[in-house]
Amino acid sequence: MPRTFDITVVGAGVMGSATAWRLAKAGHRVQLLDQHAPGHGLGSSHGDSRIIRLAYDTPDYVALARAAFDLWRDLEAASGKTLMVQTGGLDFGRPDAEVLAEIEATYRAGRIPV
């Protein structure tokens, strides 16, 4: 454990933890601080599961989600644990719902099976 650090990240929820992980991977000496113990239930990142998906109506979000999928797989490899279970997704609504058409268009533009 180094005694000095290049960067301090405050908040060890999923965002701070991911930030600290990538900074450490990039070679920085990072300390990650939280006011509570790891895995506490007083923030937003508690519990067993979260949904991650590609179904957005904005291409930028799809690109970010794809990058996140890759990073979750990296984290699985580093931890030796299955962290992400990939399934199909279901979006539903009225046939004339504009957002459904936008999601479909984003899928097709990204060559995601739909």
Ligand X SMILES: Cc1cc2nc3c(=O)[nH]c(=O)nc-3n(C[C@H](O)[C@H](O)[C@H](O)COP(=O)(O)OP(=O)(O)OC[C@H]3O[C@@H](n4cnc5c(N)ncnc54)[C@H](O)[C@@H]3O)c2cc1C
* 13 makes contact with ligand X (CB under 6 A): yes
* Short-list 23, 17, 87, 89, CA closest to 56: 89
H or E element at residue 32: strand 30-33
Range in contact with ligand X (rule: CB under 6 A) among 40-48, 70-78, 83-91, 97-105: 40-48
* 51 makes contact with ligand X (CB under 6 A): yes
* 44 makes contact with ligand X (CB under 6 A): yes
Lay out the site mask for ligand X across 55-74 (x = CB under 6 A, - = otherwise).
--------------------
* 99 makes contact with ligand X (CB under 6 A): no
Say how many Å lie between the first and final Cα of the chain, rounded.
48
Distance CA 62, CA 55 (A): 7
CB contact at 8 A, 100 and 91: yes
Number of residues that bind ligand X (CB under 6 A): 17
The full length of the chain comes to 114
* 22 makes contact with ligand X (CB under 6 A): no
Q: Which is nearer to ligand X, 37 or 95 (CB)?
A: 37
